[in-house]
Amino acid sequence: MAGCLRRSPVSFKARALKTEKREGWLVVLEYEDEAGGPWLIDLSHRPKFDIQDAKIDEIKPWGITIPQIPGHSVFEKGMLVNRMNRTQVSVWHLGGHAHEVPAIAGLTDVTDAVLMLALVGEWTFSILEKLSDMDLLDPRKTPPFLIQGPLCRVPCQIVVLRRSSDRSAVLWTCARGYAQDMVHAVMKAGEEHGIRAGGENLLSSFTQSVA
Instruction: Give the model confidence (pLDDT) of 20-36 as tens digits.
Output: 999 899 999 999 989 88
Task: Give the containing element (helix H, strand E) for 151.
Answer: strand 145-151
**Residue-by-residue DSSP string for 9-48:** S---SS-EEEEEEETTEEEEEEES---S--EEEE-TTS-E
Which domain covers residue 86, as residue numbers?
A: 33-211
Three-state secondary-structure class, residue 50:
strand
What is the number of domains present in the chain? 1
Predicted structure pTM score: 0.93
Give the CATH number, domain containing residue 177: 3.30.1360.120
Q: Within a domain: residue 21? A: no
Give the DSSP H or E segment for 118.
strand 114-120
In a domain? residue 19:
no
pLDDT score at 75: 95
The answer to whether residue 27 is domain-embedded is no
Whether 5 maps to a domain, the answer reads: no
Tell me if 10 is assigned to some domain: no
Residue 134 within a domain: yes
On whether residue 4 sits in a domain, the answer given is no
Neighbour-count burial for 140-171, b at 16+ CB within 10 Å, e otherwise: ebebbbbbeeebbebebbbbbbbbeeebbbbb
Q: For position 5, what pLDDT does the model report?
A: 84
Comparison of pLDDT for 170 and 96, the residue scoring more? 170
CB atoms within 10 A of CB 68: 9
- Looking at the predicted structure, is the pLDDT value of residue 205 above 90? no
Q: In whole angstroms, give the CA distance from residue 180 to residue 168.
A: 23
